[in-house]
Amino acid sequence: MFENLNNYRTFYTVAKTGNISHAADILYISQPAISKSISKLEEGLGVKLFSRTAKGVFLTDEGEILFEHVKNAFESISEGEDEIKRISELGIGQLRIGVSTSLCKYILLDYLQDFIFENPHIKVTIDCHSTVNTIKLLQANKIDIGLICHTDIPSGYTYKKVREIHDIFVANDSYLNNLRLRETEEKLEETDNPWMFAGNLTPLLEIKEGEKISTTEIIEKSNLMLLESTNITRKYIDDYLEECNIHPSQIFEISNMDLLIDFASIGMGVAGVVREFAKDHLASGQIKELPLEKPIPKRSVGFIYTKSNAKSVALQKFIEFCEI
**Is 169 in contact with 270 (CB distance < 8 Å)?**
yes
Kindly indicate the confidence band of residue 91, based on its pLDDT and cuts at 50, 70 and 90. Answer: low
- The residue type of 223 is N
Same domain, residue pair 110 and 191: no
Residues in a beta bridge with 299? 165
CA dist list (Å): 214 to 75, 101, 124, 270: 68, 33, 48, 13
Same domain, residue pair 140 and 237: no
Query: Cβ-count burial of 20 within 10 angstroms (0-12 exposed, 13-18 middle, 19+ buried)?
Result: buried
DSSP H helices in 53-172: 61-90, 101-103, 109-118, 131-139
DSSP H or E segment with residue 161: strand 157-165
CATH number of the domain where residue 34 is located: 1.10.10.10
Same domain, residue pair 223 and 257: yes
Kindly indicate the confidence band of residue 82, based on its pLDDT and cuts at 50, 70 and 90. Answer: confident
Same domain, residue pair 63 and 31: yes
pLDDT tens digits, residue range 98-148?
A: 999 999 999 999 999 899 988 888 889 999 999 999 999 999 999 999 999
pLDDT tens digits, residue range 250-291?
A: 999 998 999 999 999 999 999 999 999 999 999 999 999 999
CATH number of the domain where residue 262 is located: 3.40.190.10
Q: How far apart are CA 173 and CA 270, in angstroms?
A: 11
Q: Taking Cα atoms as reference points, which of 94, 91, 144, 88 lies closest to residue 123?
A: 94
**Is 298 in contact with 275 (CB distance < 8 Å)?**
no
How many structural domains is the chain composed of? Answer: 3
Kindly indicate the confidence band of residue 88, based on its pLDDT and cuts at 50, 70 and 90. Answer: low
Q: Which domain holds residue 235?
A: 167-297
Same domain, residue pair 235 and 177: yes
pLDDT tens digits, residue range 193-222?
A: 444 433 333 454 554 444 567 899 999 999
Q: How far apart are CA 312 and CA 141, in angstroms?
A: 13
pLDDT tens digits, residue range 150-189?
A: 999 999 999 999 999 999 999 999 999 888 777 666 554 5
